[in-house]
Amino acid sequence: MTVIGCQRGIKLLGNMYASGRGVAEDIVEGVKWYSLSAEQDFEPAQSSLGKRKTLPD
């Protein structure tokens, strides 16, 4: 999926899914949105993505 636009908004969707705010909690979906924002060089999303990838399963 290609999403171009507001990197901050895309990252916030990742936050919502990762924390279950307003949507069912879904870490995989959250990481997907973090990745889409990080691909657009949004550093906060890259940081969030890095934190999620280093958490134990």
CA distance 30 to 14: 4
User: Is 25 contained in some domain?
Assistant: yes
Total number of domains constituting the chain: 1
Residues 6+ apart with CB under 8 A from 10: 3, 33, 36, 37, 40, 42, 45
34 or 57, which is more confident: 34
Q: What is the pLDDT of residues 12-54, one digit of tens each?
A: 999 999 999 999 999 999 999 988 888 888 888 888 887 776 5
User: Is 47 contained in some domain?
Assistant: yes
Domain span at residue 33?
Answer: 7-51
User: Is 57 contained in some domain?
Assistant: no
Helix H or strand E encompassing 16: helix 7-19
